[in-house]
Structure formats: structure tokens, C-alpha cells
Amino acid sequence: MDWSASGSTLISSSYLEQGQQALQRRRKLFRSLLSERRLPTRGWDDHSIELFLQEVAAMDSNNFLDNIGVGEREARVASGLVAHRHYGLAHGIGRSGDIAAEQPKAAGSSLLAKLTNLLTKDALRLAGFGDLGTVSVIPVATGMAITLTILALKSSRPSGAEYVLWPRVDQKTCLKSLVLAGVKVVPMPMMHIGDQLCTDTSGLESKIAELGSANVLGIVSTTSCFAPRAADDVVAVAKLCAKQDIGHIINNAYGVQAQQLTRSITAAWRRGRVDAVIQSTDKNFMVPVGGAVICAGSKHDKLEREELLPRMQAALASFAQAHDPNAPPGKKPSITFLGSKLFSKCVSGTRVIARGKAHTVAGYSFQGYGSHCDDFGSEYLTAAAALGTTMNEVHEFLHRLGICMKQYAKHAGE
């Protein structure tokens, strides 16, 4: 927009020119984003982001100045507050069941959807993924994404393929997602190696032979999960799936922030079969649940997380050596007492696992639920070095945990 001709009759032309230059600088940012189609090296300020969204939204038909909508799908929004929160973007994405299709009434929304996929792909590349193919951001959370992916996989497999082998992970969402897809889930036990639970590749191969590969839809492996379960050996699983010609879906819910996992996934689809890798936007990019906004700065945050992990592990090991969690014989209180004390100290995110807990999920019964195996051998609590966590938070967590441990020991002696 050139305001110099008419605007100069209202204010000084030198001031107007300076303002025009500021606008042009932002327009240059917009053009660069659309032409380069990757995350900018330096993040935009909020005003630039809002200006870009407002201009893009103005290209949707519901925001045309002279638009008259007489159809049933005209992006009508009853609440002005809701419309404002979404910048007037109300048409959604996709068309007639094709989420990648352009929406004729919404050039702006369609442009944002395409751009989001491209920026996400660039973010995954920065996170350590190599040889990326198609990347799509869909407006559902991780669990529903697993369900939809399983349903898509079913359409490409023989009609009798109804079994999904699932190396056990005690997180409810994945199992419920598989059950919702209408498949027969076969939970597979993990191998106890040292202090970790690892993938039993031989057990998977034996189960495929028992069921018949034609009857197996695929394997759903997991990378990101709570200790003591280790990430599945996705390379070995990918090789097995390629050998048996069965599907392979990787649940990488919050694994984008761990370069070791992104590299192993890259090796998996280079050396074997990987049909889909599913990860969460909120856990990896610090946006609201179900969001699809890719924020600049994620590379920096991810590097901080990579540096934090060994420091947090060392701090926890030092803490464990300094505190004896064992109460006197016969007087040991439930470890859930420790969990409740942590919660009362405003510590969130820790998982306190007691031995012997039985739980039923989607009709499947598990012993020792929460530890990913029937009996891990001890009670424990977990803490995660997740994206956005700082070392100051780790130190404060250990300080509060120390207070709770003293209360735990005192309670044991009563």
C-alpha cells in the first residue's frame, strides 16, 4: 500500500516515508516466508504475526467487504469474541474429506494450511529428521491421529489383517485409540534388561509367525514414554515389518524434542518399513493441545532440552545417593503418600508408581500398571526433562522432593 501521494497532504512526507519503510520491511518478511517456505532464522515480533494473519484472513470469503453468503457453509460465527480469537478464519481446512484439498471459499485458510505443513516439515528437519516425505498437520490430538492412521492402514492391507502387535506401554491413550479403530490388540511384553524395559524383537517375530503375517495389520511401536520403559528399537521393528510385509506406525508423541529419537526414526525408515510417525504439537512445540502453530525458537528450546537431560540425570543420581527412600521394615508407607506430598508442594508432572497395581483399559487387564510390565521389582517415581524445563526448576523440584522425603521417613517411623 502506497500512502505517500494522499498521506503527504496530511502529515510531513518525511515522517510518512519512514512509516512506509516500516510497513515495507514487514511486507518483505511476508514475501520471504511465502517464497522460502521455511522457518525464519529470527522469530517475528507479535505485531508482524498478527498483521500477516489479518491479511491472510481477509482472503477468506466470509471476510470480503461485499460478501453475501446464502449457502449452509458460510463460516458464520455467533460470538464476536470467538471470531476475533481466530482472526476471522472460520472455514477450516480441506474439502469433502480430503484434508489436503484447497477450500474454494477460503484462499487464506488454504494458504495457511499449506504453509503450516511446510513450516512443520522444516521444524522436523531442524529436530534431526532426515529424508522427510509428506508432512501433514491435522486438527486432532495424538490419540485420534493414531486411530485415523490405523484406519488408513487397514484400507491398504488384506481384509483378514486384524491384529495389531503393541509392545506394552502403560499410557492409556494409545491402547484406547487402537481399540477405537476396531482392531484386535495384542499387547507384547517387554524384555527386562538392567534397569530398562526393552523391545523383544524375537517375541514380535514369533507372534507374527503364530498369527500369520496375512492376519497382522502391523506393529505400533513407541519412542517417547516414561521410565523404566526404553524407547522401542524402531530400526529392528522396521526391518521386521519390511521382512514380514506388515504395517509399522511409530507413536512419537513427544519425541521431536529428543534428537536421539529423531535420528533413530530416520534410520528406521531408511532401513526398514515405517508407514507413519505420529507426534503431538502441544508437547513438542509448546502450543495449546490440538494446535497446529509452529513457533520460531523451537530449535533453541530443543537444544536447551538436550543439554538439560544429562544434567538432570546427574542431579537425580546425586539426590538418590544422598537420600535413603527405604523405611523401616514393616512400617513402610505407601509410595502414594510421597506422591500426595509432592502434589501439595505444587510439584506437577511426576509419576509415582506403586507395585502390584492392577488396572483394566479398554477391556485389557494389566498387572503392575504404570510400570509397563507386571512387576518392575521396585516402587519409583519419574520426572521428565521435557521441552521448556529449566535447570532452576530441576533444582527447586529436588529441594521440594527432599522435604517430602523427610516427611515420608517421619511418617514411616510413626
* b/e per residue 270-309 (b: at least 16 CB within 10 A): eebbbbbbbbbbebbbbeeeebbebbeebeebbebbeebb
The share of the chain scoring above pLDDT 70, in percent, equals: 85
Choice among 14-23, 223-232, 303-312, 357-366 with the minimum mean pLDDT: 303-312
What confidence score (pLDDT) does residue 297 get? 26
> How does residue 324 score in pLDDT terms, banded at 50, 70 and 90?
low
CATH 1.10.10.2160 segments of the chain: 4-101
Looking at every residue in the chain, the average pLDDT score rounds to: 83
Choice among 109-118, 127-136, 219-228, 255-264 with the minimum mean pLDDT: 127-136
Q: Per the structure block, which three cell numbers stand in for 74?
A: 458460510
Residue 57: how many CA atoms within 13 Å on its side-chain side? 16
What confidence score (pLDDT) does residue 242 get? 94
Question: Looking at the predicted structure, is the pLDDT value of residue 222 above 60?
Answer: yes
Name the residue with higher pLDDT: 52 or 98. Answer: 52
- Residue 199's closest CA among 160, 227, 230, 241? 230
Binding-site residue positions for substrate: 95-96, 103
Name the residue with higher pLDDT: 227 or 205. Answer: 205
Binding-site residue positions: 73, 95-96, 103, 270, 345, 410
What confidence score (pLDDT) does residue 274 get? 92
Name the residue with higher pLDDT: 350 or 124. Answer: 124
Dist. CA 248–CA 156, nearest whole Å: 12
Q: Per the structure block, which three cell numbers stand in for 232?
A: 522401542
What confidence score (pLDDT) does residue 328 get? 44
- Please check whether the domain covering 4-101 is classified as CATH 3.50.50.60: no
Q: Which residue has the cell 511426576?
A: 350
CATH 3.40.640.10 segments of the chain: 142-285
By residue count, the chain amounts to 414
Q: What is the pLDDT of residues 266-307, one digit of tens each?
A: 999 899 999 999 998 888 888 887 743 332 223 445 556 666
Binding-site residue positions for pyridoxal 5'-phosphate: 73
Question: Looking at the predicted structure, is the pLDDT value of residue 352 above 80?
Answer: no
Residues 309/300, Cβ–Cβ less than 8 Å: no
> How does residue 347 score in pLDDT terms, banded at 50, 70 and 90?
confident
Most confident of 23-32, 178-187, 361-370, 395-404: 178-187
Residues 347/400, Cβ–Cβ less than 8 Å: yes
Binding-site residue positions for tRNA: 270, 345, 410
What confidence score (pLDDT) does residue 296 get? 24
Dist. CA 265–CA 252, nearest whole Å: 9
- Kindly report the backbone phi and psi dihedral angles of residue 213, in degrees, each rounded to the nearest multiple of 5, phi listed first: -60, -30
What confidence score (pLDDT) does residue 293 get? 32
Name the residue with higher pLDDT: 255 or 165. Answer: 165
Residues 356/369, Cβ–Cβ less than 8 Å: no
What confidence score (pLDDT) does residue 2 get? 64
> How does residue 412 score in pLDDT terms, banded at 50, 70 and 90?
low
What confidence score (pLDDT) does residue 329 get? 46
Name the residue with higher pLDDT: 390 or 60. Answer: 60
- Residue 48's closest CA among 65, 24, 75? 24
- Please check whether the domain covering 142-285 is classified as CATH 3.30.420.40: no
Q: Per the structure block, which three cell numbers stand in for 154?
A: 487397514
The one-letter code for the residue type at 390 is T
Decide: pTM greater than 0.75.
no
Most confident of 9-13, 56-60, 99-103: 56-60
Dist. CA 186–CA 50, nearest whole Å: 48
Name the residue with higher pLDDT: 327 or 150. Answer: 150
> How does residue 182 score in pLDDT terms, banded at 50, 70 and 90?
very high
Report the pLDDT averaged over residues 194-209.
96
Question: Looking at the predicted structure, is the pLDDT value of residue 23 above 50?
Answer: yes
In angstroms and rounded to an integer, the radius of gyration of the C-alpha atoms of the chain is: 26
Choice among 8-12, 182-186, 248-252 with the minimum mean pLDDT: 8-12
